[in-house]
Amino acid sequence: MILNIAVLPGDGIGPEVTRQAVKILKAVGETYNHTFNFHEEIIGAVAIDKFGNPLPDKTIELCLKSDAVLFGAIGDPKYDNDPTAKVRPEQGLLKLRKSLGLYANIRPIKAYPTLLEKSPLKKDRIEGVDFIIFRELTGGIYFGEKILSDDGSYASDLCEYSEIEIERIAHLAFKTARKRKKKVTLVDKANVLETSRLWRKITTHIAKSYPDIQLDFLFIDNAAMQLILNPGQFDVILTENMFGDIISDEGSVIGGSIGLLASASIGDENALFEPIHGSYPQAKNKDIANPIASILSAAMLLEHFKLYEEAKAVTKAIERSLELNIVTPDLNVESKYGTKKVGNFIADYIANSDDINY
Amino acid sequence: MILNIAVLPGDGIGPEVTRQAVKILKAVGETYNHTFNFHEEIIGAVAIDKFGNPLPDKTIELCLKSDAVLFGAIGDPKYDNDPTAKVRPEQGLLKLRKSLGLYANIRPIKAYPTLLEKSPLKKDRIEGVDFIIFRELTGGIYFGEKILSDDGSYASDLCEYSEIEIERIAHLAFKTARKRKKKVTLVDKANVLETSRLWRKITTHIAKSYPDIQLDFLFIDNAAMQLILNPGQFDVILTENMFGDIISDEGSVIGGSIGLLASASIGDENALFEPIHGSYPQAKNKDIANPIASILSAAMLLEHFKLYEEAKAVTKAIERSLELNIVTPDLNVESKYGTKKVGNFIADYIANSDDINY
Ligand SMILES: [Mg+2]
Ligand SMILES: [Mg+2]
């Protein structure tokens, strides 16, 4: 397979973790005979510094003509802590998602056996947890009409959804469930909200095309409880924008390390892959940033192009690094391994499937 | 003090747990020389059975002329499992809240030392947790205009808030914080929602009248994380209707037992106190239902009328029953104590402050 991949390292630790993800993709390309072409552009604070614009046209153009985008992280204290700043690094990512028509945010949550002790949940609750959240990304109350009355004493936000917005992400969720435990849970508030009832009606209709998939429903308030009480019950969670924001953040902490979580943002023509952690400027250039979330985002990229065996090789290598405690200091304070060495181990393991040198 | 208390036991285990709460209030009245008058009426499934109406006029009239309402639980499988039922038990409570103008739902969350092992969270996260959620109950997206297009392909829900709706509950939250750890955390999504920005503006303004109280802000998605990562950071949480629904349910499970959680719904003229658990019809009349949540709701009633010493005596008696393992089977499967005996112990302890007979 030939893939043209736009690489946007961004700010802070973005460049060093993305470099490891590229290294891993190169190892996969060589081992499995694919041609992955990488082209790099700037985004975020570095782009503001250079062009006064967090998303230069050249960056958009590169992404539009690429098959996928590998994204690092964005944000710099120089802009984040300045309330008068009109141009902010984050605007670059929001505008990029819009320019690429990315309507589904996909967030896998997995409890790694070697990290159970780091979870805030007791072991019996978190053991074996492995689910994936599909969050609608372009509709709902975050994007509806906002009103503030002239006298400033009344405000409103409109939550809207249309059939097409629900259908396209629902199909993605059902297709993914097919490759997993064959269960989709729609999280909504259909006992109260009209938009939730539309989600339920359309999703129920779509489910008929996937007779092998079980469709469940859960109200958002109950889902927020179930994620703590029994997260092992979930396989694929499908939900609207704001509910997805809330439960994907809640879900991100139950596994015990945010340094192991990646996400994908998918549209009909393009897809972007990124770690969920931020730019962590304090750790920049210290060779201590955990590259695993970025490497996992590269594995999601491989899966997106149906390179399942290749993606599996990457996740297997990551699991082996965790087992052998070849990890950065965030996972083991006494670790002698840095960002690069963890990346090297994973790349070597993909190429050779052995760990005799470690 | 003379208080006229409307008692609405409702359905399922409602009557038996409410009976214990009344017993405790009588013990408090005798011990501290107050006159509490109790008048009972029906609500819920029993009222549908008798009058075809989950909230008969006589019940509303009693509540309106009482100082407070002690509420049990509502719901019966006969109606809940019948999708064609037009009259539902829950409608009784929703209509009652509206008739009494109850705009603030108050939910204390506390981790009892003897029950830490039951929490889904690890001990170091949940130990010492003691906070209280103020949820706005009559505004927001649950009550705004709902639209479904004629062709059924578009839906919307409007989230609205006005100054007065925010002010009255904000004052309640600040006043409560004064008697506690002097910290209010406003949970919103002010980076995206206009209504959240209104909440933030008005709450910030009100905070100036409470210079002894620290006001913090937290986005709802971050709050959903922090409730798991570090629930001990909270004192008083203030939030709008839907966010309050989500985090009060999330918060209700971190303590380990829903049988120990009570709530109050407050208006300018009236107040209603209830356990947060449901009618649990399977346990009805078996003398196994945990009366503590209902008894704690009676303690909240006492606090509401500034009977702080009396409320403290009740919570102290409850804590002693937990320490001595004088609890119902939900907290200890081998327990020989039933609903009544737990109520008796707590009433005796309030009257005598000793436990020599146990
Ligand atoms: Mg978020
Ligand atoms: Mg709820």
Q: What is the largest CA-CA distance in chain B?
A: 71
Closest CA to A155 of B171, B337, B165: B165
pLDDT band, very low/low/confident/very high, at A234 (cuts 50, 70, 90): very high
Under the banding of pLDDT at 50, 70 and 90, the label for residue A356 is: low
Residue A36 reports pLDDT greater than 70 = yes
What separation in angstroms does the CA of B28 have from each of B20, B68, B310, B350?
Answer: 12, 16, 7, 7
How far is the C-alpha of B74 from the C-alpha of A112, rounded, in Å? 42
Nearest to B102 by CA among B138, B69, B78, B63: B138
Could you tell me the end-to-end alpha-carbon distance of chain A, in angstroms, rounded to an integer?
Answer: 32
Please tell me the predicted confidence (pLDDT) of residue B79. Answer: 84
**Each residue's pLDDT tens digit, A90-117:** 889 989 998 999 999 999 999 999 889 9
**pLDDT one digit per residue (tens) for chain B, 358 residues:** 999 999 999 999 999 999 999 999 999 999 999 999 999 999 999 999 999 999 999 999 999 999 999 999 999 888 877 767 788 888 899 899 989 999 999 999 999 998 899 999 999 999 999 999 999 999 999 999 999 999 999 999 999 999 999 999 999 999 999 999 999 999 999 989 999 999 999 999 999 999 999 999 999 999 999 999 999 999 999 999 999 999 999 999 998 888 899 999 999 999 999 999 999 999 999 999 999 999 999 999 999 999 999 999 999 999 999 999 999 999 999 999 999 999 999 999 999 876 666 6
| Chain A touched by B160 (CB under 8 Å) | yes
User: Which position has the higher pLDDT, B266 or A86?
Assistant: B266
Report how far ligand 1's centroid is from the alpha carbon of B224 (Å). Answer: 10
| Nearest ligand, CA B191 | 1
CATH match of A111-256 with 3.40.50.1820: no
Does residue A181 have a pLDDT over 70?
yes
Residues of chain B contacting residue A157, judged by C-beta atoms under 8 Å apart: 141, 158-159, 193-195
The predicted pLDDT at position B150 comes to: 97
Sheet of B183-188, strands arranged across? B35-40, B2-10, B68-73, B271-275, B262-267, B102-110, B130-136, B236-239, B183-188, B214-219
Determine the 3-state secondary structure of A116 from DSSP. Answer: helix
Q: A159 touching B, CB under 8 A?
A: yes
Q: Does B205 touch chain A (CB under 8 A)?
A: no
A190: nearest CA partner in chain B: B142
pLDDT beyond 90 at A166: yes
Q: Which two tokens stand for residue A149?
A: 């009355």
User: B111-145+156-255 — its CATH code?
Assistant: 3.40.718.10
Mean pLDDT computed over A259-275: 96
Average pLDDT estimate for A52-60: 96
What pLDDT shows up at residue A355?
A: 65
Q: Write the ipTM.
A: 0.93
Q: What per-residue confidence (pLDDT) applies to A81?
A: 72
Q: A242 C-alpha vs ligand 1 centroid, how far in Å?
A: 9
Q: CA A227, B105, B139, B77 torsion: positive or negative?
A: positive
Q: Which residues on B lie below 8 Å from A195 (Cβ)?
A: 155-157
User: Quick check: A249 and B125 CB within 8 A?
Assistant: no
Long-range residue pairs from B82-90, CB within 8 A, at least 24 positions apart, any chain: B87/B48, B87/B52, B87/B53, B87/B54, B88/B54, B89/B10, B89/B11, B89/B44, B89/B45, B89/B48, B89/B54, B89/B279, B90/B54
Helix (H) or strand (E) holding A254: helix A241-254
Give the tokens for residue B144: 């705004």
Distance B188 CA to ligand 2 centre (A): 17
A184-201 in b/e form (b: 16+ CB < 10 A) is: bbbbbbbebbbbbbbbbb
Nearest ligand, CA A250: 1
Residue A158 has pLDDT above 70, yes or no: yes
Find the residue in A nearest to B196 (Cα).
A155
Tell me which residues of A are annotated as active site.
142, 189, 221, 245, 249
A224 lies within 8 A of chain B by CB: yes
Q: Which CATH number applies to A1-103+267-358: 1.10.10.10, 3.40.718.10, 3.40.50.720, 1.20.1740.10?
A: 3.40.718.10
User: Which pLDDT score, from 0 to 100, does residue A10 have?
Assistant: 97
B1-101+269-358 classified as CATH 3.40.718.10: yes
Query: Which residue among A125, A156, A189 sits closest to B120, beta carbon to beta carbon?
Result: A125
Q: With 70 as the cut, is the pLDDT of residue A223 above it?
A: yes
**Taking 80 as the threshold, does the pLDDT of residue A230 lie above it?**
yes
CA dist A88 and A192 (Å) reads: 37
Contact B122 A121 (CB under 8 A): yes
Flag if B193 and A142 touch (Cβ within 8 Å).
yes
Closest CA to A145 of A130, A155, A134: A155
What is the rounded average pLDDT of the residues A280-306? 97
The rounded mean pLDDT for chain A is 95
Same fold? A1-103+267-358, A111-256:
yes
Domain boundaries, chain A: 1-103+267-358, 111-256
- Per-residue pLDDT, B81: 73
- Asked whether the beta carbons of residue A155 and residue B161 sit closer than 8 angstroms, the reply is yes
Share of chain A above pLDDT 90, in %: 90
